[in-house]
Amino acid sequence: MKFFSHAKWILSGEHTVVGGGKAIAFPLRKYESSINFSPSNKLEIFDTTKENNSIFLSLIKSAAEFAKIDFKNITGNFFVQSDIKTKSGLGSSAAICTNIAKIFKHLGLWEDIFSLATHLEDKFHGRSSGLDIAVAMTDKAVIFENNRVGSVFEPVFWPHMMLTYSGEKSETSKCAFIVKKIAETNVSLAISLNNMMNQGSDLCESGLKNCNFAELKEGIILCNEAFKGWGLYNDTLSAHVNKLLKNGAVAAKPVGSGLGGFVLSLWEEKPIKYHNIGLTLEKP
């Protein structure tokens, strides 16, 4: 039996969502992570993603511990596949954690997919907001606030937006540490940046609901300024974003933790000349 989840991309709310702030995220159905599971009298893992099998094994062990099940009683063939680029901001870890939680529910070992998947994702990034898990579970666009899904989001307006890869991996735990350090050492700056990101989320939501391109543009710009304020830009990411803006994008921002990964860009017109450099985002 196949269990699968898609990638995701975040329009706004990175980092602040962990503390209860608003975030808006969308499924990216072009990319998928799956586990083909079949019953067996022993546990066997076949991982085609070129990741170390021990990582997947540790997640199974952690899931069993969370569900208060003896790990020795977990059996079956797990055939793992994924084309979601890791450490890129597209939710590869959330997808695999959600798939494991779905299998546990299928086997009658744990009912609540969200709680188990979020617990497993903590193993990757420290404290998980649950945003990525929510999108992976529902396969819908969501507004996530106060550490839960506030609503399924159905935008009215959908301008030209594109994802491009910056050329450098994004380490979520490293970026989260940087943001946490600012919160501990410079409270006024942390509050200012959180407010900036939350204001950006409000503008992005309003822009897509009210067909207001200017609001969406300003929202993305504010979110990007928050990334800069946290120090989550490096030379590679800066050069990539600057190239997009030079080539006609009116706003751009990282879609994950920062310091690399994929970048969202907003365009007034369809970027025909540069269509081959990235993935044009379709309305969900």
Q: For residue 270, what pLDDT is reported?
A: 81
**Predicted TM-score (pTM) of this structure:** 0.93
Q: For residue 41, what pLDDT is reported?
A: 92
Mean of the pLDDT values across residues 216-245?
A: 97
Which fold is adopted by the domain 2-152? Ribosomal Protein S5; domain 2 (3.30.230)
**For the chain, which residues make up each domain, given as ranges?**
2-152, 160-280
Q: Rounded to an integer, what distance in angstroms lies between the CA atom of residue 112 and that of residue 127? A: 18
Which fold is adopted by the domain 160-280? Alpha-Beta Plaits (3.30.70)
Q: For residue 273, what pLDDT is reported?
A: 62
The structure tokens listed for 32 are 């998928």
pLDDT tens readout for residues 4-23 = 999 999 999 999 999 999 99
Are the C-beta atoms of 81 and 31 separated by less than 8 Å?
A: no
Sequence-ordered list of residues with C-beta below 8 angstroms from that of 94, at least 6 positions apart, any chain: 5, 8, 117, 121, 128, 132, 133, 135, 136
Q: For residue 274, what pLDDT is reported?
A: 60
pLDDT tens readout for residues 90-149 = 999 999 999 999 999 999 999 999 999 999 999 887 778 899 999 999 999 999 998 888
Q: Which residue type occupies 244?
A: L
Q: For residue 49, what pLDDT is reported?
A: 76
